[in-house]
Structure 1
Amino acid sequence: MLPRSIGNLSSVQMFEAVGCNLKGKVPSEIRNMRKLFSLMVGHNNFTGIASTTLSSVKNLQHLSLVANRISGPFPIVLCELPNLSILRLSHNQMWGNIPSCLGDITTLRKVYLDSNNFTASIPSSIWNLKDILELKLSSNFFNGSLSLEIGNLKAVILLDLSSNQISGNIPSALGGLQRLIQLSLSHNRIEGSIPDTFGELISLEALDLSYNKMSGVIPKSLEALKQLDSFNVSFNRLHGEIPSGGPFVNLTFQSFMSNEGLCGLGSAIVFLLMRHRGKTVNAEDEWLPEVAPQRIFCYELQRATQDFDGNNLLGSGSFGSVYKGTLTDGTVVAVKVFNVQLEAPVIHCDLKPSNVLLDNNMVGHLTDFGIAKLLTKEESVAHTTTFATIGYIAPEYGLEGLISKRFDVYSYGIMLLETSTKKKPNDEMFTGDLNFRSCAHNLLPDELDQIINVDLLTLDEENLSQKLQSVSSIMELAMNCTTNIPVERMNMIDVVAALKRIKQKLSSCN
């Protein structure tokens, strides 16, 4: 036990006895150490603090009782220390609620109350500590929702509220904590979406929102977080496309596990599934409905491979690793997990309307990357013998099996023509030397009415001439995407910019 004679050390300013197997209570005689500003007695077996122990030690700035056996409620006597700056009570057995008076100690800079048994909601007075730098309340039983006043912690750099029972939505005010470096809200009951304001957390290096009930999409604004290198939203209910820029380039599948609605092309998010059913399928029959590959969610592949356990690793290569897995129906599969970064280009190789899905906002999402090819940084062109859909294939593919970024541009141009004309590239009207492109080219611009999709316009429609001009511009754009020589085709960045200009011009007419 710590002897009571310690009170005779009236001139001592720092006292440290860490890991000394001390037990009993911290003796009340410490109150005589009036010059004491640092008391560190962590990793012992103390069971409590005598009620009058610290009431007279007004100069105390640093108190650490980490990893002891202190039980009972929060020591109210600590609220009487006007100069307390660092408070460490982690890994004890304290229970009850946190008194609101703790928020009155405006000198606090670091507070660690994690790994106790505290209950009730976090007192709103805590959010008044506008100068606090580190606040760790994890691994307790705090409940209730987060107050909007959390936005008052303008100086905080570490905020850990994980492993509690916090519910409700994340306040958008959290996005105003621009000095925040680490934020963890994992293992709670938080609902709602990730605030778009999180894109303003410019100093953020680590964000953990895993194991909650969050829905919605991952805000694209998070691409602006240049310092972010640790990100986890696993085991939520998120959906939509995973952002592809900024820090998301280097994130792996572990960051997004068990969100059934998420999709994307980030590092290690593209899965190539190869299965063996014990029978041979002819190439020409491969895409018939009865043998078409079923869609499998990422979480199913995680479960099939036991979260890509190393024991299921079949091999690794320059683009990624292949794992053995077993689906719930007993089918044995091999799953390739690509670990290349997004500047390694992805050539879809089968761009067509049936591979574009529209969401509720009529935003298109590209799907079915089953025959996609990856180009290395050194490659601009590659050879392939993979079967693609007739009518959407660029000429160089059919002649030499060449693919490049311009390959998908050609297919996109054909899609533009199909949308504008409501005709398919394999329509029976296209025979001999007359193909989809040449037919449209011969009719543009003066005879547009002979080929235009009648569902797009009606003759008595307001601003008919302007809308006809917009459709004509789109078809001209398609012509520039589908030239026979790849280098003469527009690049996709310019295509998107041209479409935006057409859209803006059409909007000004309405």
Structure 2
Amino acid sequence: MEKFSTTFFSLASVLISMQCLIALGGGATNYTTSDESVLLAFKSHLTYDPNHILAANWTTNTSFCHWLGVSCCCRGQNRVTSLNLSNMGLQGTIPPQIGNLSFLTNFNISFNHFNGHLPAELGQLRRLKEFDLYGNDFSGEIPTSIFNVSAIQWINVANNSLSGSLSDYMCSHLPKLRVLWLSYNEFVGDVPSKWGECRELQYLSFFGNKFTGFIPRSIGNLTMLKKLYLGQNNLQGELPLEMENLRSLEILGLRSANLTSSIPSSLFNISSLKELYLLENQLFGSLPMDICSSDVHGLEFLALQHNQLTGSIPRYVGNCTSLRVLDLSDNKLSEYGQEGLVSTKCDVYSFGIMMMEVFTRKKPTDEMFTSDLSLSRWVSEALVKGVTQAIDSRLIRKDEEHFFAKVSCVSSIFELALNCTAESPENRINIKHALALLQKIRLKFLAKLQ
């Protein structure tokens, strides 16, 4: 009996020692092998590696924690926490083994040529915070398992060929979601009705898809939202009045959204709003009379062209001191200044923009112009660097007669246009003075041709 007891306790001691070793790091070998094998499986699913980056770097000669694009953590365990392979020209698919990287927080393979379907095993990445697949060739649906990863903060799958619909209850499982970028895919179905549950959301875009239905009223609960792009879809109905609750909103993009309603005046009560794009819809009625009547005039871009708007331009438009682009073309509005409803400061601004459009063949709403580069700024920089960069090449050729006279004439017109479009209305020249100067430029040009 004594011998049996001694043997039993000896075996127990060995087992306990083994468990302690595992707890203290002896089990790290299994984790290490697992994470390394996942990365090697990922590498094996590549079909094209143009610069042989992973072929040369991802080898067992070095620790996988030192491989390009791989970051690790957890002292004594070496667990993969970040996989960033963006902009490498890679082509291939994502293997299901990816779900075994249980410590992964950042997965970024944007600007590559990955294809195929997204594996459901992505939903096993319970620590995942950032998920970026922008600019690839993925198809099929987004696995619903991804929307169960409660830690996730960033989802960007824009510019792929993903399809399917989105669940109404998607946001109920994503309390920390801040960025959801779904633009330029092939998603269908109604816009999810419970966006309001994603209360941390700051950037939301599903521009360029095939969504239908109404903009949900719950969107007004997204009080932290800064940028919202819903355009180029097959939506219907009106802009919900609850949008006035978006007190942090800076950009609202609803281009070609198929909307049929009037423009709610409450939109212009959002003091943070800088850019409003409602062009190419079926909006009707008149512009709200209280545009820029509040104490804050932060609106910089207002694009309302190609709608069914009617009536006169509100007189408060002249108070939009930050406004750089105002496009009301292809509507049924009264002419600028008619019946004295618009200040001459607004008239001369539009006149200046028109002159720039004529001689550059550019529009303020062209894609090249953003919040950092406007048509006016582009023309201003061209006057310093070389004005021919901005002049439409179809108007003036270097080999034609009177080339320099024509360039000088257009330069003078650009300078006049910039004086018409100064940021502050107080700094803009009078419309009558502008017309007089334009006549002088014309006479000076004609004199050079004689």
TM-score normalized with structure 2 length: 0.58
Could you say which residue in structure 2 is the equivalent of 1:153? Answer: 246
Could you say which residue in structure 2 is the equivalent of 1:210? Answer: 305
Is contact 2:351–2:417 with CA below 8 Å preserved after alignment?
no
Is contact 1:226–1:247 with CA below 8 Å preserved after alignment?
no
Could you say which residue in structure 1 is the equivalent of 2:130? Answer: 38
Q: Give how far 1:93 is off.
A: 0.4
Could you say which residue in structure 2 is the equivalent of 1:188? Answer: 281
Tell me the distance in 2 between the aligned counterparts of 1:53 and 1:173. 38
Could you say which residue in structure 1 is the equivalent of 2:159? Answer: 67
1:47 aligned partner, one-letter code: S
SS at match of 2:252: strand
1:157 aligned partner, one-letter code: E
1:89 aligned partner, one-letter code: L
Tell me the distance in 2 between the aligned counterparts of 1:233 and 1:159. 17
Deviations 1:393-441 (A, max 9, x none): xxxxxxxxxxxxxxxxxxxxxxxxxxxxxxxxxxxxxxxxxxxxxxxxx
User: Is 2:308 the counterpart of 1:222?
Assistant: no
Over 3 Å counting, the alpha-carbon distance change for 1:317 and 1:64 in structure 2 is closer
1:21 aligned partner, one-letter code: H
Q: Give how far 1:130 is off.
A: 2.1
SS at match of 1:54: helix
Could you say which residue in structure 1 is the equivalent of 2:423? Answer: none
Could you say which residue in structure 2 is the equivalent of 1:134? Answer: 227
SS at match of 1:95: strand
Over 3 Å counting, the alpha-carbon distance change for 1:77 and 1:101 in structure 2 is closer
Q: Which runs of 5+ in 1 are unaligned?
A: 256-266, 270-307, 322-336, 348-371, 379-510
Could you say which residue in structure 2 is the equivalent of 1:343? Answer: 429
SS at match of 2:98: helix
Tell me the distance in 2 between the aligned counterparts of 1:65 and 1:191. 34
Tell me the distance in 2 between the aligned counterparts of 1:47 and 1:34. 23
Computing the radius of gyration from Cα coordinates, the structure with the larger value is 1
User: Is 2:273 the counterpart of 1:170?
Assistant: no
Could you say which residue in structure 1 is the equivalent of 2:121? Answer: 29
Tell me the distance in 2 between the aligned counterparts of 1:373 and 1:145. 41
User: Is 2:237 the counterpart of 1:144?
Assistant: yes
The match for 2:189 among 81, 96, 99 is 96
Q: Give how far 1:247 is off.
A: 6.0
1:250 aligned partner, one-letter code: Y
Matches within 5 A, 1:35-434: 35-49=127-141, 51-76=143-168, 78-79=170-171, 80-199=173-292, 200=294, 202-242=297-337, 243-244=342-343, 249-252=348-351, 311=394, 316=409, 320=413, 341=420, 343=429, 346=432, 374=436
Tell me the distance in 2 between the aligned counterparts of 1:19 and 1:113. 19
Over 3 Å counting, the alpha-carbon distance change for 1:136 and 1:345 in structure 2 is closer
Q: Which runs of 5+ in 2 are unaligned?
A: 1-92, 358-390, 397-401, 421-427, 441-450
Greater per-residue helix proportion: 2
Could you say which residue in structure 1 is the equivalent of 2:371? Answer: none
Could you say which residue in structure 1 is the equivalent of 2:366? Answer: none
User: Is 2:98 the counterpart of 1:6?
Assistant: yes
Is contact 1:190–1:212 with CA below 8 Å preserved after alignment?
yes
How many residue pairs get aligned? The number is 292
Deviations 1:285-306 (A, max 9, x none): xxxxxxxxxxxxxxxxxxxxxx
TM-score normalized with structure 1 length: 0.52
1:230 aligned partner, one-letter code: V
Is contact 1:196–1:219 with CA below 8 Å preserved after alignment?
yes
Q: Give how far 1:52 is off.
A: 3.8
Over 3 Å counting, the alpha-carbon distance change for 1:49 and 1:75 in structure 2 is farther
Over 3 Å counting, the alpha-carbon distance change for 1:17 and 1:229 in structure 2 is same
SS at match of 2:146: coil
Tell me the distance in 1 between the aligned counterparts of 2:249 and 2:213. 23
Is contact 2:201–2:225 with CA below 8 Å preserved after alignment?
yes
Tell me the distance in 2 between the aligned counterparts of 1:198 and 1:212. 18
CA RMSD of aligned residues (A): 3.3
Tell me the distance in 2 between the aligned counterparts of 1:16 and 1:28. 17
More moved, 68-77 vs 159-168: 68-77
Provide the identity percentage: 29
Is contact 1:82–1:107 with CA below 8 Å preserved after alignment?
yes
Tell me the distance in 1 between the aligned counterparts of 2:148 and 2:291. 44
Over 3 Å counting, the alpha-carbon distance change for 1:19 and 1:338 in structure 2 is closer
Deviations 1:443-469 (A, max 9, x none): xxxxxxxxxxxxxxxxxxxxxxxxxxx
SS at match of 1:150: helix
SS at match of 1:53: helix
Over 3 Å counting, the alpha-carbon distance change for 1:50 and 1:196 in structure 2 is closer
Over 3 Å counting, the alpha-carbon distance change for 1:45 and 1:203 in structure 2 is same
SS at match of 1:215: strand
